Structure 1
Amino acid sequence: MTAGGQEARGQGLGIHQKISDIPRQWAQATPSGIAIREDTDFVTFGRLWTNIGAAMHFLREQGVGTGDRVMIVAENCTAVITLLFALSELGAWPAIVNARLSEREIESIRAHCTPRLMLFMHSTSPDAVRHGVRYRAREISPPGLGPLMMGASDETSVREEASLAREIALLIYTSGTTGMPKGVMATHRGLLHFARVSANSRNMSTSDCAYAVMPMSHIFGLATLLLATFQAGASLHLSARFKAEEVLAALAAGEISILQGVPTMFTRIVAYVREHAVEVSAPALRYLYTGGGPLDPTLKRDVEALFGQPLHHGYGMTEYAGSLFITRMDRPRQDCSSGEIVEGAELRVVDPQGEDMPAGEPGELWVRGPGVMHGYYRAPEQTAEALREGGWLNTGDIGRLDPDGALFIVGRTRDLIIRSGFNVYPIEVESVINTYPSIRQSAVVGRAAADGNEEVVAFVEIKDGTTFDADELRRYVDERLSAYKRPSAIIHIDTIPTTASGKLLKQRLRVLAAEQD
């Protein structure tokens, strides 16, 4: 089955050729407008652009030029944003990585992208200090950036050809099924298109302020928050790490009009409010959005009851520079659909042979449009597997389209569990488990069985002040699921592991499930 959005009208694309054109525009139009709020400080668009110019001078002094890569080990801070746009102006590629990654992960990314320069934002991240020391970085304080740690320049790093360098905005690293890093080459064209579509879909204006705790190393933080917010000339309230009490305090202060995050973030907010019996005040809040993972009905109901307004949802991926489907503000969904296709995007729902599925049937999602990545950096085989003939990107996700065009994500191809010949989609099982009163959240994975079959294994995290009774939970689940979907094991875990951006680490859970076989 195929779905297509409207053709992109190109509004703004003729003016903006690279992502740094966005802050340049606002620095010229409204230099006194606030761009970033961080702690007690704020940065106007005029000051930001001045800092970008100073950062460009610093980078040139280090030998950084068109086609170079610069690896930035950091958590959210103003300096990361400044560097992102300074490198855009130079035609160099930032590779922003979360400082909370392990030493092995940081080194794997460094070895893969061979950066000309490594920078560590140690003033806002204790983990960045640890990594900086490991790479023998020295402390400096360049104009426009402030205190940071800088590693030695790698003179052996080979520059990319200029025409390619100018097409690509940055490298965004994701972990594949093997855990090895994949560097997504996101294009200026794709990111600019998404920034415009996203800002329009949220009716954003210069008076908005978006809470930004999603890491800038992730497409959510970088595109949905940073670029879309700046596209509208609005401001970001930067936060390096998520704390529910800090989010609630910022909302109560009356600044935040837009709150966006992964489902795990909203799960933690709901849990904190319940466990501490605090009052929720958000006088300026007008838009709630969750993406980056499946939304289950229990969480949607709880968040909407807490804030008294719709929780919007969407579907996107790093390889498409942002969202492909978004629920509309003028017609919020009562279900957990990912909404309607965005302008410029096309979708096919196909079977394993790449043939279109009948209408309404679940299948693998292939997408096409301006947001499709250039490819995976230095990975031609992985690129060929993902990018198919005709410009289609194989997302690896499974979904179905309703007759009204709404998309429902069923699961990931790699997460699909096949039990006794039947397909089990983890989200179906998780949605039932999450309705049980004492469950905070759950994660379901498959485990190989001795007969060559697969078993369903559920990990559960319970709410504070409650007890875990596996037998009682099992009876509850068995009453609500078909026999082949029922978990063979329900395992209590203190905290379900997540990435720095809040996504469930199911690969780690698969290992745990196998160990407990």
Structure 2
Amino acid sequence: MPSFRPEFIHDIPKHWAERAPDALCLHLAGGILSYGALWQRIAAARDWLAARGVGQGDRVMVVGENCTEMVVMLFACSTLHAWPIQVNARLSPREIDGIRAHAEPLLTFFTSNVSDVAAAHAARLGAQPSDCAALDPNFTVLRAEHAPQRVEAAEARDIATLIYTSGTTGAPKGVMVPHAGLTVFARISATSRDLGPDDIAYGALPLSHIFGIATVLMATLYAGASLVMRPRFDAADVFAALRSPGLTMLQGVPTMFTRIMALAREMTARTGQTGATAFPRLRYLYTGGAPLDPTLKRDTEAWFGQPLHHGYGITEYAGSLFITRKDAPRADCSAGYIVEGVEIAITDEQGQPMPPGERGQIRVRGPGVMRGYFRNAGQTAEALLPGGWLNTGDLGYLDADGALFIVGRSKDLIIRSGFNVYPIEVESVINAFPGVRQSAVVGRAAADGNEEVVAFIETQPGTTLDVPALQAYLRESLAPYKRPAQVRVIETIPTTASGKLLKQPLRALVEGNAAAA
């Protein structure tokens, strides 16, 4: 396991290009790319960007889906101390335009070579081929009409990337992610998983998301391992990659594993095989980015014959804050144990420490804490507290062993009859009912000023939900104040591009129905 200490994120691919240039780095649909070849493209893109005026403190935006060009631009910008902004192309025109207006990039690129939605954005905005020899000819670019103001030099060198949070309402927030956080976590993540050059990971998590950048890309490259790069997640492609080139690491958000398991059941019914027998190279499963449901954990572990590890992280911290231990997997859905360099405090709303085992707000500090929200001093002040603490907005508690349990988001908490209802608890119970693929629980304002619990359910393919039986099951399984006042079956629960459940559209549905009534 390597132990070098990179200062900037581009030091990671450079390290392996110098020491093992022929080692495999990226497995692509059209072939493979070595570390040496990747660095050659990074250097060529750096020179191309510099020749077009990109320098320290500029912003460079990439509207796209995962591909070599997104990796190249991330590191090429780092070499110039410009800020790369990777934005998922599946965002709407309004969202893309809002981020561009806020970030003011000098150049905006579009991965039209691998993404029809990126190509549509490019066509709408009048982007042209980049003419950079290191990039695909269909990788297009748009230049700002006027050169935006650059960020001050010291700040420019400190920040590795801007990640815009998906949010639910209001203006976009650009999280300023420090080099120090990503480089430290790359080492921690690679070490915790015993990653090495022989490992092959799967990269369908968007590179516009901290999970995709930190846990998947940076950790894999830090270890000198290789990555199967895919523009979008597709469960069938995961099974193909497990066979060839033979994944050893499989990481994703819980909704990805939900879809993997749906296909796994079909495979077992068809061939009689399970993951334990069909994919002997696979040695590590990991999920994060959202709470882990116990039913999903149980089914995944049973089918693959190995633990499903878990962790906790947020966009505002570069990398995971807690990870389960590889050599001591847990039977519960804990997010694991605190990682090197991180401190945590569980507090009440006033910031006073809660007794051990009590639920409260999660505050953290460490090298990965964001430097703030770009051009948003007000929201930065709400998140970054005195003493270097970051208010995560999440709720949780620590058990006697020091393991962290996430119970929900502060904004998702439902107050029913004076009691706190944590949606994840209700969702976990619903998800264990036969025929349920996944569920999402939201609150609905009642006429008396109280809140009611509303559950949205996505069923397994070909399954008709027995709602009376479900309601009887919930009466046996949940206290009265936690039981849904309404159960709604929908075709697909909306998710973000990174696979997180999107609850704002569900709240809008609930509020719209209430207004109509």
* AA partner of residue 468 (structure 1): L
Partner of residue 375 from structure 2, selected from 368, 372, 378: 378
Q: Distance in 2 between matches of 1:73 and 1:283?
A: 37
Structure 1 CA distance for aligned equivalents of residues 298 and 131 of structure 2: 47
Compute the TM-score of the two structures, normalised by the length of structure 1: 0.96
Partner residue of 1:253? 244
Aligned to 2:466: 469
Could you list the runs of 5+ residues in structure 1 that have no partner in the other structure? 1-9
Asked if 1:490 is matched to 2:480, the reply is no
Alignment of 1:121-136 (within 5 A): 121-136=111-126
Is residue 68 from structure 1 mapped to residue 78 from structure 2 by the alignment?
Answer: no
| CA distance in structure 2 between the partners assigned to 1:208 and 1:73 by the alignment | 29
User: Amino acid of the residue matched to residue 32 of structure 1?
Assistant: D
Q: Is the 8 A contact 2:313 2:320 kept in 1?
A: yes
Q: CA deviation at 1:146?
A: 1.7
Deviates most, 151-160 or 181-190: 151-160
- How far off is 1:156 after superposition? 3.2
Select which of 288, 291, 294 maps to 2:291.
Answer: 294
Give the drift of 1:134: 1.2
Contact 2:414–2:422 (Cα < 8 Å) also in 1? yes
Q: In 2, distance between residues paired with 1:511 and 1:19?
A: 40
Q: CA deviation at 1:113?
A: 0.1
Give matches, 1:195-234, under 5 Å: 195-234=186-225
Shift in Å, 1:275: 4.1
- Aligned mate of 1:305, from 302, 307, 316: 302
**CA distance in structure 2 between the partners assigned to 1:472 and 1:308 by the alignment:** 31
- Which of these residues, 131, 155, 162, is aligned with residue 171 of structure 1? 162
The match for 1:5 is: none
SS in 1 for 2:415: strand
Structure 2 unaligned regions, length at least 5: none
Task: Find runs of 4+ consecutive structure 1 residues off by over 6 angstroms.
Answer: none
Residue equivalent to 2:34: 44
Q: Percent identity?
A: 59
Deviation (angstroms), 1:468: 2.1
Matched, 1:336 2:333: yes
Aligned-pair Cα RMSD in Å: 1.2
Q: Does 1:18 align with 2:15?
A: no
Residue 78 (structure 2) pairs with residue 81 (structure 1): no
Q: What's the offset of the Cα at 1:143?
A: 1.4
Equivalent positions of 1:275-424 (< 5 A) are 275=266, 277-278=269-270, 279=273, 280=275, 281-424=278-421
**Partner secondary structure for residue 37 of structure 1:** strand
Distance 1:237 1:344 in 2: 30
Q: 1:481 aligns with which of 478, 482, 500?
A: 478
Give the counterpart letter for 1:245 in structure 2: A
Q: Which amino acid in structure 2 is aligned with residue 82 of structure 1?
A: V
Cross-structure match for 1:58: 48
Residue 83 (structure 2) aligned to one of 93, 97, 101? 93
Partner AA of 1:155 in structure 2: H
Contact 2:166 2:496 in 1 (8 A): no
Residues 238-291 of structure 1: CA deviation (Å, up to 9, x unaligned): 011111111011112252100000000000011122246354421210000000
Q: Is the 8 A contact 2:362 2:394 kept in 1?
A: yes
Q: Does 1:28 align with 2:18?
A: yes
On the 8 A contact 1:66/1:165 being kept in 2, the answer is yes
Pairwise CA distance, 1:305: 1.0
Q: How many Å apart are 1:73 and its aligned residue?
A: 0.5
Pair 1:375–1:302, CA change in 2 (3 A): same
1:133 is paired with a residue whose SS is: helix
Per-residue Cα deviation, 1:107-149 (whole angstroms, up to 9, x for no partner): 1100110100111110100001100011110123411112211
Which residue, 270, 291, 294 being the options, matches 2:261? 270
TM-aligned CA deviation for residue 177 of structure 1: 4.2
Distance 1:179 1:503, change over 3 A: farther
Give how far 1:471 is off: 2.0
